[in-house]
Chains A and B, each alone.
Chain A
């Protein structure tokens, strides 16, 4: 009984948090989304459910991997499945907020023009009409100006902070860029790239794999790249994509960030798709037509073999248990949940970076957007600052620099051990987070507080898998993806990088494994 109440409490919290809007000095908002402690509740023994519902396939987890798996199954004509999602909406890190001013991302906010190897993403984009006959839909690519950085009191174009940089800083930057270009050109005997997206297409040559043993900080030092600006710039990339510091990122992953995105044959090479609601646009496409096969508000609590089938138990927001009996299960949840759900041993190699994401709803743009240098861009970065800056949701939809907008602020906790960072995040209440956000953005936009009507906070405890040294090329990572009869694993953490391309790749891979076991091999979406 006690456990049950506990669980009820845990499940009702996210919705409660969403409703419990607060108001302070005219500013409204609150902490929204998943409760931070929820995963930890799974450590408790749980009650059993009644007679299971029979389905052909059950997908546990409605993030990008789970949705991509569902999408692949439907392409193969498998329609008898259900998908269980903890949150009230599918999408995982690609969910969105919808305000009257604009939609805005809750985390993932862009998709680089895919590499040739990212066949799943290419197929998806052509279904959406964004990549047709070798042409990209220009209107959906990030409009000018893409990014700016605030350094020494002024905004300037790009991310590398130029103001105040010495000639040595620039020399080191040029060397680093040249080094990256060389890695981009590198091919092994079989013609494979050193750093590919999906990661699975990267060369396994020892020369490249060895980079995974070293951390990015040491790698930079070893090459004589000591410039604080260059190191900040490289670390910005690691924090942006992995939520990790230079020390906690393997050199392989650090180089992958810079070398892997080659524009897939399109020029310029660094274009990306951007939408007001972020990657939720892609999620909406993946999820369209799923209908009531999606069950939201379900916390999967147990997955067990039962004869040739699998029984999956889940609990809803009222604490009621339900169960499913499925011939095949696609486990599209993060790997760290497997000890709780599958009674597997803990896999310590998998560690996750926590993130704080905030959406600032603005009545109008603050006047300070026009001050000091380069005008407002899509991505606005502040040099030497704990957060990553903010992206402007209305960048693609407005042709003026006034009026209402939504800014999404990102704060990885790269400087702390993940467990400590989670503690810190948990301890901060809404008004404390607001204070931190305004303290960080205040020097840049002193009038931001005046125009901010609402500030919503999402605390993502296990936002991204961390590509720590040794993880990406470890046997632990490879083994975690191996299926059992009727049970297939799909999550971006199996790739070691938390990006849309990897999540969708893993989802399609798992679905194809399931189809192959049923003798329905069909077309391989993972190859051209």
Chain B
């Protein structure tokens, strides 16, 4: 029943060799690229994946002798369906495995092995099918030539077209569809009338099409696994990956995977950041906020009726417009970003402070992400704090977010020391923010040492009062000051401290 192969079909079959070879290599490249992206160290990832895959192909080739002895064409079509299904869903599966299970490597190598095994069966099986039409020499040389040619095509297409235009997940679904097409070609060429096989092919094809259509959703779902709560909003801006999660009444903002605030306790953080410096001033009129694109610090500043102007300088326009316009986020900051007294300026603060075109401010609130790399670390250098001098009016006060004095004690005191070295009178302070832990700030002034007064605090605060205010300036022994070098632009000791401090927390 399988010998009713029409003349001239061998051309079609040889094209199939070429197609399956291309897909086979693409699956391997997808696994390698995905592992490099997620785990880093591309040489290690690629070399172990290539090894795993080639070994699996060897096992597959060996097993091929036991497969499809009676109906090789049916077996081959079935094989294509299996490869289409497993290979087609491999990228999505690996993404999800990375997010939801601890066993990413296991899933990775297992999938690579299974796909390699199935691909290994392909060529010997095809040779069995084709051997009727060719001499052995011809067969081996033609099939292998096309196999290698397919590999070449895959290795060129993958980096130049597939990755840039389709991305990993869609590429893997598309290759699955090619395998389904090969199965279909076989069914028509050999006029295979196996109803179950048709159904199988149709189902696999349908699933892959569904997967392709939903690949955006799969990516998102995979990402959700990285966050403890359901994602209600995610955005990739020019500068960062922004994710908002929500569980019951608790809203959290993550930037590039790092928690920025939790609505449950952010008032503690922002009251400390804002009211400590403002309570040093009799009448704060002009306030500058550096960073703080979420508008939460601005909300606290706008409590003071005497404040006339607030300037918020934040890098990312997408961030500030989101927190200004998004219905649900602007409730958190009580519409502070659309307040008439507030002006938003989207600029890199490091560049902006070196050429400010603004009159001095009565208070400056510095709220940047932690110094986790040398780029952000510039915002914690002596040069940066020196550049703030002309921006502060006489008698004004400055507060700076300084990471945790408990978890990153050396980093904290390094920042304090750097601010002091830049010519400021400093007063370090801290408080407990449940979702962050013990958190630290520095209050600074230019002339007399800073002197916050509880009587100036707004009335309806939830954390700061006459008792809590002086308490923040006391440091118990485990957070006490450490002698520290100054963080300079050309030698950022802080970034190294920060990495070591937090690594020791994570490792312990």
Residues of A within 8 A of B (CB): 138-139, 141-146, 152-154, 268, 271, 364, 367, 371-373, 375-377, 397-404, 442-443, 446-447, 449-450
Smallest Cβ-Cβ distance to B383: which chain A residue: A139
Q: Is B207 an interface residue (CB 8 A)?
A: no
CA distance A493 to B373 in the complex (A): 41
Q: Are B350 and A399 closer than 8 Å at their CB atoms?
A: yes
| Chain A residues with CB under 8 A of B129 | none
| Chain A residues with CB under 8 A of B43 | 152-154
CA distance A96 to B377 in the complex (A): 28
Smallest Cβ-Cβ distance to B487: which chain A residue: A144
Q: Are B378 and A446 closer than 8 Å at their CB atoms?
A: no
Q: Are A153 and B44 closer than 8 Å at their CB atoms?
A: yes
| Chain A residues with CB under 8 A of B491 | 144, 268
Q: Are B489 and A442 closer than 8 Å at their CB atoms?
A: no
Q: Are A401 and B375 closer than 8 Å at their CB atoms?
A: yes
CA distance A143 to B384 in the complex (A): 12
Q: Are B490 and A153 closer than 8 Å at their CB atoms?
A: no
Q: Are A446 and B33 closer than 8 Å at their CB atoms?
A: yes
In the complex where A144-B377, A449-B164 touch, is A399 in contact with B348 (Cβ < 8 A)?
yes
| Chain B residues with CB under 8 A of A375 | 373-375
CA distance A443 to B159 in the complex (A): 10
Which residues of B from 149 to 170 have beta carbons under 8 Å from A? 159-160, 163-164
Contact partner of B374 (CB less than 8 A), chosen from A143, A268, A404, A442, is A143
B351 to chain A, nearest CB (A): 6
15 sampled A-B residue pairs with Cβ under 8 A? A138-B382, A138-B383, A139-B489, A153-B42, A153-B46, A271-B490, A372-B42, A398-B375, A400-B239, A400-B348, A403-B238, A404-B238, A446-B36, A446-B159, A447-B164
| Chain B residues with CB under 8 A of A403 | 238-239, 315
Q: Are A143 and B490 closer than 8 Å at their CB atoms?
A: yes
CA distance A116 to B484 in the complex (A): 32
Q: Is B488 an interface residue (CB 8 A)?
A: yes
Smallest Cβ-Cβ distance to A444: which chain B residue: B42
Interface of A, secondary structure class, is loop
| Chain A residues with CB under 8 A of B37 | 367, 371
In the complex where A139-B354, A442-B159, A446-B33 touch, is A399 in contact with B490 (Cβ < 8 A)?
no
Q: Is B376 an interface residue (CB 8 A)?
A: yes
B237 to chain A, nearest CB (A): 8
Q: Are B379 and A371 closer than 8 Å at their CB atoms?
A: no
Q: Are A372 and B41 closer than 8 Å at their CB atoms?
A: yes
A125 to chain B, nearest CB (A): 16
Q: Are B238 and A142 closer than 8 Å at their CB atoms?
A: no
Q: Are A154 and B40 closer than 8 Å at their CB atoms?
A: yes
| Chain B residues with CB under 8 A of A450 | 163-164
Q: Are A443 and B348 closer than 8 Å at their CB atoms?
A: no
Contact partner of A399 (CB less than 8 A), chosen from B33, B41, B375, is B375
Shortest Cβ-Cβ A-B pairs, 9 listed: A153-B43, A399-B350, A144-B492, A372-B40, A402-B239, A141-B490, A399-B378, A144-B374, A143-B489
Q: Are B489 and A144 closer than 8 Å at their CB atoms?
A: yes
B157 to chain A, nearest CB (A): 14
Smallest Cβ-Cβ distance to A398: which chain B residue: B348
Smallest Cβ-Cβ distance to B377: which chain A residue: A144
Q: Is B240 an interface residue (CB 8 A)?
A: yes
Given contacts A138-B490, A367-B37, A399-B348, 7 further A-B contacts (CB under 8 A): A144-B489, A153-B43, A371-B37, A398-B350, A399-B378, A402-B240, A450-B163
| Chain A residues with CB under 8 A of B163 | 446-447, 450
Q: Is B127 an interface residue (CB 8 A)?
A: no
Smallest Cβ-Cβ distance to A449: which chain B residue: B164
CA distance A146 to B376 in the complex (A): 15
Contact partner of B376 (CB less than 8 A), chosen from A138, A399, A404, is A399
Q: Is B21 an interface residue (CB 8 A)?
A: no
CA distance A404 to B315 in the complex (A): 13
CA distance A398 to B354 in the complex (A): 12
B489 to chain A, nearest CB (A): 5
Q: Are B42 and A443 closer than 8 Å at their CB atoms?
A: yes
A480 to chain B, nearest CB (A): 38
CA distance A146 to B374 in the complex (A): 10
In the complex where A138-B383, A143-B489, A144-B490 touch, is A400 in contact with B159 (Cβ < 8 A)?
no
| Chain B residues with CB under 8 A of A377 | 374
Q: B361-388 toward A: CB 8 Å interface, digit per residue (1/0)? A: 0000000000001111111001100000
